[in-house]
Homo-oligomer: A and B are copies of this chain.
Amino acid sequence: MSTYHPLTEQEAIDIARSIEAFFPADASLSCKEIGDGNLNLVFHIKDSVSGKSLILKQALPYAKVVGESWPLTLDRARIESEKLILEGKLAPGLVPQVYKYDPELALTVMEDLSDHVIMRRGLIEGNIYPLFADHISTFIANTLFFTSDLGMNQQQKKLQVKSFINPELCKITEDLIFDDPYTLSDNNNYEAAIEDAAAALRSNDELHLEVAILREKFLTNAQALLHGDLHTGSIFITKQSTKVIDPEFAFYGPIGFDIGAVYANLLMNYVAQAHWSKDEAAREAHRSYLLEMVVSIWNQFHDKFLALWEAHGVDRLANEAKGYKQYYMKRILQDAAGYTGAKMIRRIVGLSHVIDIDRIDDDAVRNSCQRQVLNIGTQLIIRNRSLQSIEELVDIVKSN
């Protein structure tokens, strides 16, 4: 069974049973394939005796998006598995536990998180997650600091860069986020009603310059080992627990890109509350909550990253040069603002959307939200290199 082939449910059960000391000997295992079938098979294996369960995630050798299918490397399963294991070491408790990785089958066996919900869905329902800012700021600070030249042996880091070279998945980001939305592309996908706003993206010189610079940083700036796709659909959550999943886009890139992914998705939810909130008061409350979360994530990330730097910094000059830490943190904030904008814009006019916006059934409200997301995104990008504080970012959101 070691040559690659998509697993059957029975094979998945057999593999699950072979995970040592997980299921009891008398386990009665059932299996359900719960993936969307576009990129991966996801088997949910449950023991009806003990109630224990596992997830088997197997990469498929192709990607399917809106009917099209193209080949996609199975090496992403290795990247995902290795990154998950590393994240588990650097940010304990904030990712699913990995029990086994089988390179031949492109298969990862991991902790079942079905007691959690996907955060995007939770936010749409108006839920509050009091520990999220703390958890995600720890996740980002720990995983990024300890994989950067500030926090790990700089020669080992170069070997890690090599191990996480991820051309195929990076190309998806490069095309869908940093190219298509700003030109006429068959990949673009938006409603005729916002054609004027989409056209404005294609003719804004100031915007193009900044997107080109953000694109260049994505292509060249090996600052830390990113998650690479850290939106609210990659986060499982409860009031007590946060688990970041799906790091198959992991690669060495600019730290602000991971932060921007979180922010973009919180802010799209902020805009979409025009529809999802039950009333004006609920809307204002949920929006305030989201903006406070944005500020709190930055402030906690900032303090935690600097505390790690103070305690574990490996680079003498970076540790000691006066003003360097402030310079470094401000650039992260500026990059985060730019990438937030880029990730908002692409979810409105690009190939892949978010349900926060798309499932708004009132056309006028939905289109109004789409325009607002584009306005905020455009301003965040245009102003990213001059941004001085997280409050300035929030002001841009509020005034657009």
Listed in ascending order, the chain A residues whose CB lies under 8 Å from chain B are 149, 154-156, 158-159, 161-162, 165-168, 170-171, 174, 178-179, 182-183, 205, 208-209, 211-213, 215-216, 219-223, 315-318, 320-324, 327-328
With A221-B220, A222-B222 in contact, do A165 and B174 touch (Cβ < 8 Å)?
A: no
Q: Do the beta carbons of B212 and A318 come within 8 Å of each other?
A: yes
Contacts of A219 in B (CB 8 A): 149, 154
Q: Do the beta carbons of A149 and B317 come within 8 Å of each other?
A: no
Q: Do the beta carbons of B182 and A155 come within 8 Å of each other?
A: no
Contacts of A220 in B (CB 8 A): 149, 221-223
Q: Which among A168, A179, A220, A324 has the highest number of chain B CB atoms within 10 Å? A: A220
Closest chain B residue to A318 by CB distance? B212
Q: Do the beta carbons of B317 and A182 come within 8 Å of each other?
A: yes
Q: Do the beta carbons of A317 and B211 come within 8 Å of each other?
A: yes
Q: Of B161, B165, B317, B322, which is within 8 A of A178 by CB?
A: B317
Closest chain B residue to A174 by CB distance? B154
16 more contacts with CB within 8 A, not counting A149-B219, A155-B168, A208-B322, are A155-B170, A156-B167, A158-B170, A179-B317, A205-B321, A205-B323, A208-B320, A208-B321, A208-B324, A209-B321, A212-B321, A212-B324, A216-B318, A216-B328, A220-B222, A222-B222
Closest chain B residue to A315 by CB distance? B215
- Chain B nearest CB: distance from A47 CB in Å? 42
Q: In the complex this chain forms, how many copies of it are found? A: 2
With A205-B322, A208-B321 in contact, do A165 and B171 touch (Cβ < 8 Å)?
A: no
Q: Of B149, B166, B324, which is within 8 A of A209 by CB?
A: B324
Q: Do the beta carbons of A183 and B324 come within 8 Å of each other?
A: no
- Chain B nearest CB: distance from A314 CB in Å? 11
Q: Of B171, B316, B327, which is within 8 A of A183 by CB?
A: B316
- Chain B nearest CB: distance from A214 CB in Å? 10
Contacts of A315 in B (CB 8 A): 215
Contacts of A205 in B (CB 8 A): 321-323
Q: Do the beta carbons of A155 and B171 come within 8 Å of each other?
A: yes
27 contacts between A and B (CB under 8 A): A154-B167, A154-B171, A154-B219, A155-B171, A158-B166, A158-B167, A159-B165, A159-B167, A162-B165, A183-B316, A183-B317, A205-B321, A205-B323, A208-B317, A208-B320, A208-B322, A208-B324, A209-B323, A209-B327, A211-B317, A211-B321, A212-B321, A215-B315, A215-B317, A215-B318, A216-B318, A220-B223
Closest chain B residue to A328 by CB distance? B216
Contacts of A168 in B (CB 8 A): 155
Q: Do the beta carbons of A213 and B324 come within 8 Å of each other?
A: yes
In the bound assembly, the distance between CA atoms of A162 and B222 in angstroms comes to: 12
Contacts of A215 in B (CB 8 A): 315, 317-318
